[in-house]
């Protein structure tokens, strides 16, 4: 693989109307995370008419947005649903392209904000990124989370929306991996080019 790396290639070639788990290695989180953002936001997100809806639960949207800016992503190509900044008391300078949910436990509100943004960008080809399954699992009981993903993902699939679920895990048999495997069409492990 050249430049784009394997993960970039895989994400670029995903069909809309699919739900895909992107697995990052906890020991190489920072590098993996950057590779995922680069592939998803820049390489895939730059495609014709693509609009990215980014649900931030792990990192506040301010941080994700600064990475996106460094990648030269245009602000009209991405909207954030931030469900963590309030909880982290990190809400001083709200982004104009972000909507803030008071807590990561308000799963229905997250769904509704996504719905709102989908309607707002009705003419675009939307891509939803949920960052991350792990963080949602910290704040929500598993049964609730399963129901949430089930409703959200099926709804988005029927509307031709590509959904990426970011997950940090080492072994494919963890409870979270199993939960996610019931929802997604495939799982992609982040493999970066050496060096």
Partner 1 sequence: MVTATPPTESRPAPPRDRCVTGIDGLDNILHGGIPKGSMVLLAGAVGTGKTTLSLEFLVRGAEAGERSLFLSVTESSVKLTENLSAFEFFRHDLLEAGSLVIVDLPDMYSRLGLDHEELTTEEIGLLTRSILALVAETGAQRVVLDSLTSVGYRIRREERIRDFMLTLGQGLNRLGCTTLLVSEVASSEGRYSAHGVEEAIVDGVILLGNASRRGDILRVLQVVKMRGTSHSRAQYVMELTPIGLLMAPHLKGNRPEGG
Q: Which residues of the shown chain bind partner 1 in the complex (CB under 8 A)?
A: 102-103, 105-109, 111-116, 119-120, 140-141, 143-148, 151-152, 155, 158-159
Residue with tokens 């989370």: 145
Which of residues 50 and 118 has its CB atom nearest to partner 1 in the complex?
118
Min CB(133)–partner 1 separation in Å: 16
Which of residues 12 and 105 has its CB atom nearest to partner 1 in the complex?
105
Min CB(87)–partner 1 separation in Å: 10
Spatial contact of 20 and 93, defined as CB atoms under 8 Å apart = no
Min CB(5)–partner 1 separation in Å: 34
Min CB(158)–partner 1 separation in Å: 7
Which of residues 13 and 123 has its CB atom nearest to partner 1 in the complex?
123
Which of residues 103 and 174 has its CB atom nearest to partner 1 in the complex?
103
Min CB(70)–partner 1 separation in Å: 32
Q: Rounded CA gap, 170 and 76, in Å?
A: 35
Which of residues 35 and 137 has its CB atom nearest to partner 1 in the complex?
137
């Amino acid at each position: 693989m050249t430049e784009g790396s394997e993960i970039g290639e895989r994400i670029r070639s995903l069909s809309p109307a699919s739900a895909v788990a992107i697995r990052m290695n906890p020991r190489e989180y920072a590098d993996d995370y950057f590779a995922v953002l680069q592939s998803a936001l820049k390489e895939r997100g730059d495609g014709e008419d693509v609009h990215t809806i980014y649900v931030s639960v792990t990192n506040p949207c301010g941080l994700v947005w600064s990475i996106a800016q460094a990648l030269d992503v245009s602000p009209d190509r991405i909207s954030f649903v931030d469900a963590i900044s309030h909880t982290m008391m990190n809400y001083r300078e709200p982004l104009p392209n972000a909507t803030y949910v008071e807590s990561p436990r308000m799963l229905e509100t997250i769904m509704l904000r996504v719905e709102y943004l989908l309607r707002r960008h009705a003419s675009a080809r939307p891509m939803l990124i949920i960052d991350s399954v792990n963080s949602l699992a910290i704040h929500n009981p598993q049964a609730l989370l399963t129901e949430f993903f089930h409703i959200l993902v099926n709804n988005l699939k029927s509307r031709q929306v590509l959904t990426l679920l970011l997950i940090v895990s080492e072994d494919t048999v963890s409870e979270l991996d199993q939960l996610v495997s019931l929802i997604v069409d495939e799982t992609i492990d982040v493999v970066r080019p050496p060096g």
